[in-house]
């Protein structure tokens, strides 16, 4: 069984994978509560000969599926959580399935199953050719606002991997050499003293005043941080009623930075501001550090390896009906070709790409062409727990086209594409690319060594998990 046969096998056997992806799309679940998706994925892999270990790293929706034995050990990191409020029908006009309900607005139904398909494809190749090797799929909860992989990393569950692969749905296809920022998820609770706001306000000590003073202080801090820092917040508790001095209030912060040193420094400065706000209002401040993820560390060796596999697979081809679906979505979002140019340049830096390489794609509502990994140095403003995987073992973040060029991240539009043939094509393209790259790693162990040397050089001071030992992930009971 050669690589072309693996491509053919994944094409001939894609229906069970697309059916599973659709089933997860049909039943969206928020982070740490993905009971249906987790069980469905684990059962699917068990039926195909994988050994399943459930409830790992303290998360009852996390699992590991493993097949084979010996070296190399190749991991595929999947996800399956949805986003709140992004329910949407699989149609090009905005219309929720259920108003206010969750939806797969980041395409994790495709992400997880695409990684699964790559794992099964690699398993089929190993079995057919009598090769030694271990295939491992990680069912990772709560990438959105959580830290499933980071908790897994803290438990040492990635330590024996030789390489790892992950992919994410996108509006473009390339193996990224860019990065993301790390993030700390922290709640600041203030405890004061209640009083009648009209009759005796002087008796009270307002926890809400402390929250607001803290936010003002942080907003002044924005002038004095490094360019990779982002700070954003929501007030989750502002009191009960205007005529009662609030004795309890809470603000929830995401503190982000690309460099771990900068993230640590800004977190300490925000902590000082919170303490200062408590001092000014004569309240007590309690810091609740929920979780954290590190910035991603791209592996250029694996990125280039995946690009070579794309050359064998070729571009994604769309029907006229699929193009019209994408065109309608773009029109809904007022997206035009000049924006498409900016989007492509954002992904694959303008000083490295020739205009003629992209000109012919700018009038297309959806881009099936694959591109070289030219986005070295690009730092996206979002965060992902893939960062902690990528700092433990060589890992490549692949993106493939699963939605129209105009679909913004975390939107109803991405949910809409997640249950269409467009999303399916991107998912299976990712599966083929990752499976073929993994085969190359088995056939040529020097690739693994080169990737590992690159990782060591990129982290001369090593890596430290950002979640403190005493912090545990949340657990929920499955629905009755």
Residue 144 is given by DSSP the state S
Residue 444's contacts (CB-CB under 8 Å, 6 or more residues apart) are none
Residue 283 in contact with residue 205, Cβ under 8 Å?
yes
CA 316, 322, 323, 326 torsion-angle sign = negative
Per-residue pLDDT, 344: 64
User: How do beta strands 133-140 and 163-170 pair?
Assistant: unpaired
Where are the strands (E) in 43-177, listed by range? 51-54, 63-69, 73-79, 133-140, 163-170, 174-175
> In a structure prediction context, what are the per-residue pLDDT tens digits for the chain, which is 480 residues long?
999 999 999 999 999 999 999 999 999 999 999 999 999 999 999 999 999 999 999 999 999 999 999 999 999 999 999 999 999 999 999 999 999 999 999 999 999 999 999 999 999 999 999 999 999 999 999 999 899 999 999 999 999 999 999 999 999 899 989 899 999 999 999 999 999 999 999 999 999 999 999 999 999 999 999 999 999 999 999 999 999 999 999 999 999 999 999 999 999 999 999 999 999 999 999 999 999 999 999 999 999 999 999 999 999 999 999 999 999 998 888 876 556 656 665 555 445 555 566 667 777 889 999 988 877 888 888 899 999 999 999 999 899 999 998 888 899 999 999 999 999 999 999 999 999 999 999 999 999 999 999 999 999 988 999 999 999 999 999 988
Domains in the chain: boundaries:
3-179+295-458, 182-293
Per-residue pLDDT, 364: 82
pLDDT digits (tens, 9 = 90+) for 76-107: 999 999 999 999 999 999 999 999 999 999 99
The DSSP secondary structure of 6-53, one letter per residue, reads: HHHHHHHTHHHHHHHHHHHHHS---TT--HHHHHHHHHHHHHTT-EEE
Residue 80's contacts (CB-CB under 8 Å, 6 or more residues apart) are 24, 29, 34, 37, 38, 41, 108, 109, 111, 112, 139, 140, 141
DSSP H helices in 333-444: 337-347, 355-359, 386-390, 412-417, 421-443
Per-residue pLDDT, 361: 74
Write the CATH number of the domain with boundaries 182-293. Answer: 3.30.70.360
CA distance 181 to 394: 18
User: Which residues, listed in sequence order, are joined to residue 474 by a DSSP beta bridge?
Assistant: none
Residue 316 Rama label (left phi>0; alpha psi -120 to 50; beta): beta
Same fold for the domain at 3-179+295-458 and the one at 182-293? no
- CATH 2.60.40.1180 assigned to domain 3-179+295-458? The reply is no
Closest CA to 312 of 444, 433, 424: 433
| 215 membership: H or E segment, kind and range | helix 207-221
User: Which residues, listed in sequence order, are joined to residue 248 by a DSSP beta bridge?
Assistant: 191
Per-residue pLDDT, 406: 84
CA distance 187 to 193: 20
φ and ψ at residue 406, rounded to 5 degrees: -90, -5
């Amino acid at each position: 069984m050669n690589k072309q046969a693996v491509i053919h096998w994944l094409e001939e056997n894609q229906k069970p994978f697309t059916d599973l992806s659709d089933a997860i799309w049909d039943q969206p679940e928020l982070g740490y509560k993905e009971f249906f998706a987790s069980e469905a994925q684990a059962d699917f892999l068990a039926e195909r000969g994988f050994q399943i270990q459930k409830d790992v790293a303290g998360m009852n929706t996390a699992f590991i599926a493993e097949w084979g034995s010996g070296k190399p050990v190749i991991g595929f990191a999947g996800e399956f959580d949805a986003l709140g409020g992004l329910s949407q029908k699989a149609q090009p006009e905005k219309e929720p399935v259920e108003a206010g309900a969750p939806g797969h607005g980041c395409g994790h139904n495709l992400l997880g199953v695409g990684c699964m398909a790559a794992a099964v494809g690699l398993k089929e190749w190993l079995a057919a050719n009598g090769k030694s090797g271990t295939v491992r799929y990680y069912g990772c909860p709560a990438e959105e606002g959580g830290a499933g992989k980071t908790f897994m990393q803290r438990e040492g569950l990635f330590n024996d991997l030789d390489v790892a692969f992950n992919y994410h749905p996108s509006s473009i296809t390339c193996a990224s050499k860019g990065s993301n920022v790390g993030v700390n998820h922290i709640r600041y609770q203030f405890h004061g003293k209640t009083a009648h706001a009209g009759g005796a306000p002087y008796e009270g000590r307002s926890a809400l005043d402390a929250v607001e003073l803290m936010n003002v202080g942080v907003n002044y801090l924005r002038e004095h941080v490094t360019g990779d820092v982002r700070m954003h917040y929501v007030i989750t508790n502002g009191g009960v009623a205007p005529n009662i001095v609030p004795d309890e209030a809470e603000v929830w912060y995401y503190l982000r930075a690309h460099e771990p040193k900068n993230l640590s420094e800004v977190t300490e400065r925000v902590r000082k501001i919170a303490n200062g706000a408590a001092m000014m209002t004569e309240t007590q401040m309690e810091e609740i550090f929920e979780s954290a993820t590190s910035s991603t560390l791209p592996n250029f060796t694996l990125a280039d390896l995946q690009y070579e596999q794309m050359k064998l697979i070729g571009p994604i081809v769309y029907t006229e009906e699929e193009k019209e679906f994408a065109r309608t979505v773009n029109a809904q979002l007022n997206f035009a070709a000049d924006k498409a140019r900016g989007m492509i340049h954002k992904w694959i830096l303008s000083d490295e790409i020739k205009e003629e390489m992209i000109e012919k794609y700018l009038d297309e509502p959806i881009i099936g062409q694959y591109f070289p990994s030219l986005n070295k140095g690009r730092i996206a403003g979002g965060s992902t727990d893939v960062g902690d995987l990528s700092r433990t073992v060589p890992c490549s973040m692949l993106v493939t086209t699963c939605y129209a060029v105009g679909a913004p991240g975390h939107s109803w539009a991405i949910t809409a594409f997640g249950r269409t043939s467009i999303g399916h094509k991107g998912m299976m393209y990712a599966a083929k690319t990752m499976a073929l790259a993994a085969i190359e790693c088995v056939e040529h162990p020097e690739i693994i060594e080169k990737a590992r040397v690159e990782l060591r050089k990129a982290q001369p001071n090593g890596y430290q998990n950002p979640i403190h030992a005493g912090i545990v992930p949340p657990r929920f009971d499955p629905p009755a």
